[in-house]
């Protein structure tokens, strides 16, 4: 059965009441126009990452930030992020309410949201850093998903942000709580977490908006995993099993999709040849899929997995410097050339051998008898 995922986007500098209503109006047009074909809807992609990059760091539009996080022309990194997130959550929940009341029964679809997820390990073997891990998970992952499942923000956020964290009205709780049919997870990496309440930290990480947690990919000069093209991404396969297990436990094993998972290699001298013979990407997906299979065997209700991405494409402010694709694109001719990973993944989807003697044949043992559908990247972002 062919599957579709529709992403609907609405981003503005404030994402206030009027923009929420505009978003719901836009979503209604999508439901009316495409609901006979699209059966799996995603309202927003990575609102939690957008808040971080747009309203804390100020890297993405509308580029709002304040010292010590950045030197933008406008913004307050301590105050604006919770407001922006709050309004996006309300926009999502209103769109879901509309879909369920007017379209879902007739069209027979489902609706959810996608969050940027990370897993964390304690930087030091002490209780303070283990508590920092809990806060990092809450401020990164649960900030988005807790309200949509339980109707309120994580207790860790309430404790440290206080009045800076908005309150849901009783009416809002009625349509925010439970406004998910499934959880979408974009997952790439794990990081270390260090407590900044009882320890000195780099300026900016020792703030309530960060949960008083410093996150890093290195400990004593050693990376947590293999390096990637993105300096904040590392190859940590066991993180896939841990993040899925975390979401399973925190949200009572709600249906999950891994909506993005992929690898961009560090820059190399013989770039074109290295990109095409991408054994590092093949190893990445083998190891992450094996970790995902372990989580599924332990009961996680994972319904699908999507490779990011089909081709080397435009990656936000990184442009074409990051190559996540299974296909290399010649920017002069626009020719698409399958990499080694594309050929391997084609065989994997056809239940061919994994050609990986050090791993069990997880293709048939772990995915063949589960609800999970392992899908190609070409279906991963069917957008309107």
DSSP-assigned letters across all residues of 4-47:
-EEE-----SS--HHHHHHHHHHHHHHHHHHTTT--EEEEEE-H
Q: Decide if 343 contacts 285 (C-beta within 8 A).
A: no
CB burial of residue 353 (10 Å; 0-12, 13-18, 19+)? exposed
* pLDDT value for 162: 95
Instruction: Answer whether residue 324 shows pLDDT above 50.
Output: yes
Range of the domain at 291: 17-350
Q: Is the residue at 201 inside a domain?
A: yes
What would the pLDDT profile of 162-201 be if each residue is shown by its tens digit?
999 999 999 999 999 999 999 999 999 999 999 999 999 9
Q: How far apart are CA 251 and CA 245, in angstroms?
A: 10
- The pLDDT of residue 8 is above 80: no
Q: How does residue 362 score in pLDDT terms, banded at 50, 70 and 90?
A: very low
User: What pLDDT sits at residue 265?
Assistant: 93
Q: Please tell me the total count of domains within the chain.
A: 1
Give the C-alpha separation, 215 to 190, whole Å.
10
Q: Is residue 358 part of a domain?
A: no
The CATH number that applies at residue 155 is 3.20.20.80
- Within-domain flag for 5: no
Q: What pLDDT is attached to residue 206?
A: 97
Q: Tell me which residue of 249, 221, 248, 226 sits closest to 237, measured CA to CA.
A: 226
**CB of 9 closer than 8 Å to CB of 27:** no
Write the CB contacts of 357 (distance below 8 Å, at least 6 apart in sequence): none
Q: Are 314 and 333 in contact (CB under 8 A)?
A: no
Within a domain: 381: no
User: For the chain, what percent of residues have pLDDT higher than 90?
Assistant: 80
Q: Each residue of 234-278: pLDDT tens digit?
A: 999 999 999 999 999 999 999 999 999 999 998 765 566 667 899
> Is the pLDDT assigned to residue 3 strictly greater than 50?
no
372, part of any domain: no
Q: Is residue 378 part of a domain?
A: no
Write out the two tokens for 82.
């919770």
Model confidence pLDDT, tens digit, residues 62-110: 999 999 999 999 999 999 999 999 999 999 999 999 999 999 999 999 9
Give dist(CA 300, CA 246) in Å, integer. Answer: 10
* Residue 255 resides in a domain: yes
Instruction: Please check whether residue 94 lies inside any domain of the structure.
Output: yes
Phi, psi of 122 (to 5 degrees): -65, 135
Which residues form the catalytic set?
260
Average pLDDT over residues 118-144: 98
């Amino acid at each position: 059965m062919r599957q579709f995922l529709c992403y609907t986007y609405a981003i503005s500098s404030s994402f206030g009441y009027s923009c929420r209503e505009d978003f719901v109006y836009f979503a209604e047009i999508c439901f009316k126009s495409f609901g006979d074909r699209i059966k799996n809807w995603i309202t927003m992609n990575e609102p939690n990452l957008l808040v971080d990059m747009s309203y804390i760091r100020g890297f993405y539009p509308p580029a709002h930030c304040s010292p010590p996080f950045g030197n933008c022309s406008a913004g307050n990194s301590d105050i604006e992020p919770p407001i922006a997130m709050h309004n996006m959550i309300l926009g999502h929940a209103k769109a879901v309410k509309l879909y369920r009341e007017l379209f879902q029964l007739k069209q027979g679809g489902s609706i959810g949201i996608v969050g940027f997820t990370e897993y964390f390990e304690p930087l030091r073997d002490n209780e303070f850093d283990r508590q920092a891990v809990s806060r990092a998970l809450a401020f990164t992952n649960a900030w988005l998903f807790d309200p949509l499942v339980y109707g309120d923000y994580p207790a860790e956020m309430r404790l440290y942000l206080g009045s800076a964290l908005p309150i849901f009205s009783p009416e809002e709780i009625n349509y925010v709580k439970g406004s998910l049919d499934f959880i979408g997870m974009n997952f790439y990496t794990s990081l270390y977490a260090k407590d900044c309440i009882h320890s000195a930290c780099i300026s900016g990480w020792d703030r309530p908006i960060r949960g008083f947690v410093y996150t890093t990919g290195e400990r004593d000069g050693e990376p947590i995993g293999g390096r990637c093209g993105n300096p904040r991404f590392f190859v940590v396969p066991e993180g896939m099993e841990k993040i899925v297990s975390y979401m399973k436990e925190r949200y009572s094993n709600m249906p999950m999709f891994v909506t993005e998972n992929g690898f961009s290699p560090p820059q190399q001298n013989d770039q074109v040849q290295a990109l095409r013979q991408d054994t590092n990407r093949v190893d990445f997906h083998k190891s992450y899929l094996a970790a995902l299979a372990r989580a599924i065997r332990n009961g996680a209700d994972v319904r699908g997995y999507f490779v990011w991405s089909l081709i080397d494409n435009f990656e936000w402010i990184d442009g074409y410097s990051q190559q996540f694709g299974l296909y290399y694109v010649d920017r002069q001719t626009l020719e698409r050339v399958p990499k080694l990973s594309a050929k391997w993944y084609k065989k994997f989807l056809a239940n061919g051998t994994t050609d990986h003697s050090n791993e069990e044949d997880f293709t048939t043992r772990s995915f063949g008898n589960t609800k999970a559908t392992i899908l190609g990247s070409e279906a991963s972002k069917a957008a309107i």
